[in-house]
A and B are shown apart, each in its own frame.
Chain A
Amino acid sequence: MIYVECAAQGSLPVKFLEQQGRDYTLIDGVTEAPNDKSTIIVCKKRDLFCHPCPATKIYRCCNYYTADVMEGCPFDCSYCILQAYLEHKNIQVSADLDSIRQSIREIDHGSVKVRMGTGELSDSLALDNIIPYTKMLIPQINDSKNIQFEFKTKSANIANLLELNPHNVVVSWSLNPEYIINSQEHGTASLSKRLEAAKSCAEAGYRVAFHFDPVIYYDSWEKDYMALVEMLVNTVPEQSVEYISISTFRATTKLVERMRLRHLPPSYLQGDFIQGLDGKMRYFKPLRRMMIDKVYSSLKYYWRDVFIYLCMEHASVWESVLGFDPGEREELERLFPLFF
């Protein structure tokens, strides 16, 4: 069900809805709409749209920027941080395209090359057939001098992308074995659909990226992740891959509480966890180092030249698996192979 705040009438996202002939209900404010994942609300709220991704100095982070154009996700992944981070379950879409574009423009006018994406508070493409942010943002991104823009997804919703110019755009997929997708990533595209979508985007000239995040420990994890890597390398051409991230499951106390309150708490909570230096629950370090090493080595076996980084991991794990400590934010960011 789609709702539109009265103040958002006439905005570009609403015009797209009208062009598609979609019904919507007008409301005065977001509190009038149901608070569930099947509800989309186009709203006028102003916010700081583009900002550096929150990071910690304790674990190594890159200098990624997030563009918060949408809050909430139609998918229902058991480990998703949004369960703890957002106060609402519905999907709130910003109608204020002018401010979003201005926010991107301001960053583009700086002197630093920036990677930015919309996948932090939502899935970048899950609703692109309804609210086509790709169409609204990519023409501006194509002209940008300093921004490489990432659309991060667990969907196969790429129809709009195939009609747009891929210049300065990276399309990325979060990947997990089919077992995890089926049991924990409710509503998302199957692994083969994600990989086929990545292949199509690569053929259309897009740079593609992959996130092995979160890598989850379970009985057959090693065999399943190795099979996943094989499927990936057999489907997507190496030369189209911009980067790959790896990180194991981690969660704040609040998120773990939310997970325990789910109808079926995920069985991977039975894992070997400790409280990390940032207070988050993480796998015991030698265990996660081993997990990361297996996935990293397997990827490097097939794709020697692809840039692989670890997301929010300790410098010692970087040293142990990749052989070096990348340093803090800007230092790590400089290692990324920006294609422009």
Chain B
Amino acid sequence: MFRHSSVNKRQDKLLDYANTKKLPHNTLLIASRLNASYLIEYIDVEKPSMQQFKKFVETVTDFQITAEHYKREEFLALTERRSAVHIKVDMFLKALNAKGISVNSANNFETNDLRWSFSTSSLRDLEKICEALEEAKATLDELYDDLR
């Protein structure tokens, strides 16, 4: 009897969240097949937006996570989707970012059109940017090659 009411309670809580956030029907349908207590704990801990919850449900489904209790670190560790080649690009962009150069792709790197941005307040700053780019030349060439 206790189990029955606790299951109902979890379902009610999930439905309340779905109503409040106006979850898409299909997201709710996919969510209904997952472990309810895991979802509820996620909602309680992260207070997710509708988009964040949708993404979470998709990830839990794709990774077939069956855990009872939500733990952020465990979840993040399980969900690393990036391939080695993608991680290499990420690391390179991160290294440039540390030198004040930010690189963005408007289309998830589907084309080699990249938006470069940095700010300088002196000629010396600009020289530093140029030096950093010069140092990264070989890797940059490789990156453009990968995207070409």
On chain A, the residues within 8 Å of B30 by CB distance are: 257, 260-261
Please determine whether B108 and A261 come into contact, CB atoms closer than 8 angstroms: no
Q: Is B110 an interface residue (CB 8 A)?
A: yes
Please determine whether A265 and B62 come into contact, CB atoms closer than 8 angstroms: yes
Closest to B81 in A: A272
Please determine whether B109 and A286 come into contact, CB atoms closer than 8 angstroms: yes
Q: Is B1 an interface residue (CB 8 A)?
A: no
- Say whether, besides A257-B26, A257-B30, A261-B30, A284 and B64 are in contact (CB < 8 Å): no
- Say whether, besides A257-B26, A286-B85, A274 and B109 are in contact (CB < 8 Å): yes
The minimal Cβ–Cβ distance linking A100 to chain B, given in whole angstroms, is 36
- Say whether, besides A284-B108, A285-B109, A287-B86, A260 and B81 are in contact (CB < 8 Å): no
Closest to A283 in B: B83
The minimal Cβ–Cβ distance linking A81 to chain B, given in whole angstroms, is 17
Please determine whether A277 and B112 come into contact, CB atoms closer than 8 angstroms: no
On chain B, the residues within 8 Å of A316 by CB distance are: 111-112, 147-148
Q: Is B118 an interface residue (CB 8 A)?
A: no
Of A261, A272, A285, A320, the contact of B29 (CB 8 Å cutoff): A261
Please determine whether A260 and B109 come into contact, CB atoms closer than 8 angstroms: no
- In the docked arrangement, what's the CA distance between A331 and B82, Å? 35
The residues in A between 248 and 304 inclusive whose CB is less than 8 angstroms from any CB of B are 257, 260-261, 265, 267, 269-277, 283-287, 289-290
- In the docked arrangement, what's the CA distance between A277 and B111, Å? 9
Please determine whether A267 and B64 come into contact, CB atoms closer than 8 angstroms: yes
Q: Is A64 an interface residue (CB 8 A)?
A: no
Closest to A269 in B: B62
The minimal Cβ–Cβ distance linking A245 to chain B, given in whole angstroms, is 20
- In the docked arrangement, what's the CA distance between A270 and B83, Å? 10
Please determine whether B85 and A270 come into contact, CB atoms closer than 8 angstroms: no
On chain A, the residues within 8 Å of B62 by CB distance are: 260, 265, 267, 269-270
Please determine whether B81 and A271 come into contact, CB atoms closer than 8 angstroms: yes
Closest to B107 in A: A277
Q: Is B46 an interface residue (CB 8 A)?
A: no
Of A257, A269, A276, A289, the contact of B146 (CB 8 Å cutoff): A289
Q: Is A314 an interface residue (CB 8 A)?
A: yes
Closest to B24 in A: A257
- In the docked arrangement, what's the CA distance between A290 and B62, Å? 23
Q: Is A319 an interface residue (CB 8 A)?
A: yes
Please determine whether B58 and A284 come into contact, CB atoms closer than 8 angstroms: no
On chain A, the residues within 8 Å of B148 by CB distance are: 316, 319-320
Please determine whether B26 and A272 come into contact, CB atoms closer than 8 angstroms: no
- In the docked arrangement, what's the CA distance between A284 and B112, Å? 13
Provide the B45-80 mask, 1 if CB < 8 A to any CB of A, else 0: 000000000000010011110000000000000000
- Say whether, besides A284-B83, A286-B85, A265 and B108 are in contact (CB < 8 Å): no
Q: Is B18 an interface residue (CB 8 A)?
A: no
On chain A, the residues within 8 Å of B61 by CB distance are: 260, 265, 269
Q: Is B89 an interface residue (CB 8 A)?
A: yes
Provide the B82-96 mask, 1 if CB < 8 A to any CB of A, else 0: 110110010000000
On chain A, the residues within 8 Å of B26 by CB distance are: 257, 261
Closest to B57 in A: A260
- In the docked arrangement, what's the CA distance between A287 and B62, Å? 19
- Say whether, besides A274-B108, A277-B110, A287-B86, A265 and B64 are in contact (CB < 8 Å): yes
Closest to B83 in A: A272
- In the docked arrangement, what's the CA distance between A301 and B89, Å? 30
Q: Which B positions have Cβ atoms within 8 angstroms of A?
A: 26, 29-30, 33, 58, 61-64, 81-83, 85-86, 89, 107-112, 146-148
7 new A-B contacts, CB < 8 A, other than A284-B82, A285-B147, are A265-B61, A269-B62, A276-B108, A284-B86, A287-B83, A287-B86, A319-B148
A-B pairs, 4 with minimum CB distance: A274-B108, A272-B83, A286-B146, A269-B62
Provide 23 A-B residue pairs closer than 8 Å at the C-beta atoms, listed in order of the A residue. A257-B30, A260-B30, A261-B26, A261-B29, A261-B33, A269-B61, A270-B81, A271-B81, A272-B82, A277-B107, A277-B111, A283-B83, A285-B108, A285-B110, A286-B86, A286-B146, A289-B146, A290-B85, A316-B111, A316-B147, A316-B148, A319-B148, A320-B148
